[in-house]
Chain A
């Protein structure tokens, strides 16, 4: 890939992560366990939606081919989305969602902190805004993981199961490919290996407080970053894109 294409792919991937997680969160609106959590979930989903729009708009500018945020969101097919597999998994129950958000956001905060300092002004500006949002999310979901882990016997068991089930998707967070390496080299972007060490420490500390066991690193799923998704993803896109695609060229 040419360096322009690598940069475009990197920015689009950030947008894809944000949009797919926003869409999953949106699916659970009106199903929260408590009104306060209903508000938090919608709020976090809005943050991610906002980040996706910024990343896609930047991607459109970089590409300079006339595509806007909606073209990226609604008119690409599944293999063109390069989000992490972790984020496209079905929501499951509240504990699954907390575990997903905790594992991802523990990584994403580190990624954004590195991006905030990177030498691409557009990406750095979005990251500077996003990191404030995600730091707050992480504090919120981290507290919930501790409550569930150290709550009742049932909640402990469920939270442990959620962490165990989702652990196999965490390898992909740190699996650097050509696109990650090009951004690290060209723009002083995040070094995923260094992030992994910090992530392990941060995750271990919260899991310990939550009285949860950290799973062994076993087999790790991968493919999302290359456009090879799980079966679930096609349905997510079908639902999200259906109306937009049904009225080609319409203005809403």
Chain B
């Protein structure tokens, strides 16, 4: 998932003044159009490379930062089974981060560089993780809605034109779909539970619904990089198409849970077969992306703290490895 910020920031393709001939670009496009996979050592336009590095690293950062809101309930999970499932999920996210960084590295940008960009604030991560997890039901809502939205975004990425990313996404998607099911399962247990548990579930849906549908990014008319990414087959569907699909799938699930989606304008349109929905508060999305969400500072502070606190450990490991290498050489 977590690619929403892609359309918000970055440079336009090929602004470094590199010389890319029309022939090269046309040949590249022919490969894309023929659904060939582009591999790490293949020639590619700088803009393509840059777009992918931005998208893949943003995706990796989102996995890493996304561990925080869920990790927030690990110590308090209500049963040992739920605790184990949530821990496995958070661990999966670290794993996703790891192989996404590796996919990013195939494009010539090191993990250190990507992580450095996250820590300096230059690189973005999905704004959804700047919302707080206030109750256990939020863990259910994140799995159900946030991972559900993520899957909508990610399934098409398994067919992305860049081979290493597409292959990483196949594995990520399998795990995400397990995550989504466990989230729905939490919501199901709560909605069949006590009045207090039902209220907890409704409250979580109220808070997570709108941020979740913002995850697909701005409307197509306002999406800066969409057209080029579609032509390069990095992106297969537009933001609005994916958002609509998510809403169409999710509303009946909410009804099944006996929960009310917090949108008074939500209505099924028999003619189109789709749900019509209310106006999204785009100001909120820009605010959160600009750093003014409820948890932006908290999330970054924790990430920086972990990085800083670990510096002596990484140095020690390096010093030890150097000593061993020197011994071997001697």
1/0 per position for A100-143, CB-CB distance to B under 8 A? 00000000000000000000000000000000000000000000
Given contacts A147-B317, A239-B75, A239-B76, contact A39 B98 (CB under 8 A): yes
Question: Which residues of chain A in 195-252 are interfacial with respect to chain B, using CB atoms and an 8 Å cutoff?
Answer: 239-240, 242-244, 247, 250-252
CA A85 to CA B272, docked complex, whole Å? 65
**Residue numbers in B under 8 Å from A82 (CB-CB):** none
For residue B270, CB closer than 8 A to chain A, the reply is: no
For residue A158, CB closer than 8 A to chain B, the reply is: yes
Q: Which one, A27, A33, A93, A158, contacts B75 given CB within 8 A? A: A27
CB distance from A124 to the nearest CB of B (A): 22
Q: Is the CB of B319 within 8 A of A152?
A: yes
Question: Which residues of chain B in 94-111 are interfacial with respect to chain A, using CB atoms and an 8 Å cutoff?
Answer: 94-95, 97-98, 101
For residue B245, CB closer than 8 A to chain A, the reply is: no
**Residue numbers in B under 8 Å from A29 (CB-CB):** 67, 71, 74, 87, 90
**Residue numbers in B under 8 Å from A52 (CB-CB):** 80
Q: Which one, B82, B91, B313, contacts A33 given CB within 8 A? A: B313
CB distance from A172 to the nearest CB of B (A): 24
CA A109 to CA B320, docked complex, whole Å? 26
Stretch at the interface among A41-49, A162-170, A173-181, A184-192: A41-49
Given contacts A31-B309, A39-B98, contact A247 B74 (CB under 8 A): no
**Residue numbers in A under 8 Å from B197 (CB-CB):** 247, 250
Given contacts A35-B97, A70-B79, contact A30 B68 (CB under 8 A): yes
Given contacts A151-B316, A151-B319, A251-B193, contact A31 B306 (CB under 8 A): yes
Q: Is the CB of A155 within 8 A of B98?
A: no
Given contacts A39-B91, A49-B84, A239-B75, contact A155 B312 (CB under 8 A): yes
For residue B136, CB closer than 8 A to chain A, the reply is: yes
Main secondary structure of the interface of B (DSSP, over half): helix
Main secondary structure of the interface of A (DSSP, over half): helix
CA A31 to CA B94, docked complex, whole Å? 12
Q: Is the CB of A30 within 8 A of B313?
A: no
Q: Is the CB of A243 within 8 A of B76?
A: yes
For residue A64, CB closer than 8 A to chain B, the reply is: no
**Residue numbers in B under 8 Å from A95 (CB-CB):** 313
Q: Is the CB of A46 within 8 A of B312?
A: no
**Residue numbers in B under 8 Å from A50 (CB-CB):** 84
Q: Is the CB of B309 within 8 A of A43?
A: no
CB distance from B227 to the nearest CB of A (A): 34
Q: Is the CB of A34 within 8 A of B320?
A: no
Q: Is the CB of B313 within 8 A of A34?
A: yes
Q: Is the CB of B80 within 8 A of A30?
A: no
Question: Could you list some 6 contacts between A and B, CB below 8 A?
Answer: A39-B95, A56-B80, A151-B318, A251-B189, A251-B192, A252-B78
- Further 7 A-B residue pairs, CB within 8 A, beyond A151-B319, A247-B78: A19-B80, A37-B313, A46-B87, A50-B84, A147-B320, A155-B312, A243-B78
